[in-house]
Structure 1
Amino acid sequence: MAVRLRLQLRGQRLVISIHLSCFLWTVFSLSQNVGLPHSLRRESENSYGGRWKYLTFINQILQTLLFGICVIADFVLMFIPAKKKSVSARLLTPRDFIFSVLVFPVGLFVAVMFWTLYAYDRELVYPKELDEINPAWLNHTMHTTILPLLLIELVTCPHKYLSKLKGMIGLSIFGTSYLTWILWVNYASGIWAYPVLEVLGILEKAVFFMISYLVMVGFYLLGEHLTKLLWGDFQKCKK
């Protein structure tokens, strides 16, 4: 019993260390993004909607929120065992929702879509002029290191998934809200958040948005499948 308890505590300490490291990294990368002087930003970032036009920035916010909740939950579960039940209800449920419905599919989408467009024609997503403004390491904190963070969280602790219907509804609400937002930004200011939207016609934009949504749905299902492989069926919430 004593040996099992020691092993359990070591495991909890390891999880806390991982989550704390991830949280500190997300805070650092977010602060570096926000802290870059506005005078150095391209015109569209200083205009209507600011950084909130960009899914990359929103994803950074979501990842920081996720790991912040993870750290709080880990500390409470380890140092205040009597509060486990209330923590599970108040923190673990939103933690699992944020990871499964938002952070995993959106984060994977941001990384894959960015680097796919970058490889095809970087001017569609990250013009060369930005190399003189954003250092390469900052670009990677926003579009590359988000991938290992997703994988780390995936294998560090289990996450309960909602039923497919509820999960799809949650992801659809987020996707529709973001699409409505960038369409409104364009209507109000004449600015498209991404250069690729400037070169697409109306029909092409509709196809692009539909494909993007289907890709995110695929990533949501991928996250659910990987969680099932790693942690078993018992981690999936019942309908």
Structure 2
Amino acid sequence: MVLGARALRAAALLHFLCLLWATFALSQNIGLPKSVRKAQDTTYGGHWKHLTFLNQVLQNILYILCTTIDTVALCLPSEEKTVSRALVPIRDFIFSAFVFPIGLFVAVAFWGLYAYDRELVYPKELDDINPSWLNHSMHTTILPLLFIELYICPHKYPSRIKGIFGLAFFAVTYLVWILWVHYKSGIWAYPVLGVLSPGGMVIFFFVTFVIMVTFYFLGEQLTNWLWTRRKKKYA
């Protein structure tokens, strides 16, 4: 075992706190009662056309799985093997193929475009709808959550074929979805898509996927480097 009982309890606490924050941030994004949002997204596709929102959903799913696994391990040790056998592979695949590369991409792409021209990704009028801290909960705090998870939990990456295929399936599905939203409503999920030519859009989507794959490899290498060192230390 790489981590001792004390470290496992600490990881469980961190997972629970991350789940509370991720759930709160998601609830404020979708405008649940007492939300700080001044208006909800009622256009075609709603929040589901935004990669930021999908990433928040994925993070919530991940932390629900993590908290469930931790709770069983700490409170029902006799059931740990059964639950872990069923849920750990799902948890690890979601983190490796979706949460890490997509979450890192959301943060890097959003703030990169924001710095270049915010109107391409987050028009100024949105400041009247979302307070600044909510914007950061959607596009900034997701980043430390990724590295906290990478640091406290030894995720087993799938084979590269399976991992890249999973990421590619998500990317293609999302691309088809936002093209459908535009076809049905004339709305682009992000303003930057409205200023690109068809050729420019193809290049944009291709570069976007290459970046996501690069982030997938980054997560894989960081995980291997960190947990190989820990296994040697505790061997």
TM-score (structure 2 length as normaliser) = 0.92
How far apart in 2 are the matches of 1:234 and 1:97? 21
Shift of the 175–9 alpha-carbon distance from structure 1 to 2, 3 Å rule, reads same
Which amino acid in structure 2 is aligned with residue 47 of structure 1?
A: T
Which amino acid in structure 2 is aligned with residue 132 of structure 1?
A: D
Residue by residue, what CA displacement relative to the aligned partner does 1:145-197 show, whole Å, maximum 9, x if unpaired?
00000000000010000111111111000000000000010111111110000
Which residue is equivalent to 1:71? 67
Which residue is equivalent to 1:118? 114
Q: Could you say what the CA RMSD is over the residues aligned between the two structures, in angstroms?
A: 1.9
1:149 and 2:148 aligned: no
Q: CA deviation at 1:234?
A: 11
Q: CA deviation at 1:84?
A: 2.2
1:222 and 2:218 aligned: yes
Which residue is equivalent to 1:52? 48
Shift of the 228–71 alpha-carbon distance from structure 1 to 2, 3 Å rule, reads same
List aligned pairs for 1:1-239, cutoff 5 A: 8-35=4-31, 36=35, 40-41=39-40, 45-232=41-228
Q: CA deviation at 1:91?
A: 1.0
TM-score (structure 1 length as normaliser) = 0.91
Q: Gaps spanning 5+ residues in structure 1: where?
A: none
Shift of the 233–87 alpha-carbon distance from structure 1 to 2, 3 Å rule, reads farther
Paired residues of 1:55 and 1:110 also in contact (CA < 8 A): yes
Shift of the 198–53 alpha-carbon distance from structure 1 to 2, 3 Å rule, reads same
How far apart in 1 are the matches of 2:116 and 2:195? 14
How far apart in 2 are the matches of 1:205 and 1:132? 29
Shift of the 70–99 alpha-carbon distance from structure 1 to 2, 3 Å rule, reads same
Q: Gaps spanning 5+ residues in structure 2: where?
A: none
Paired residues of 1:66 and 1:98 also in contact (CA < 8 A): yes
Report how many residues are paired. Answer: 227
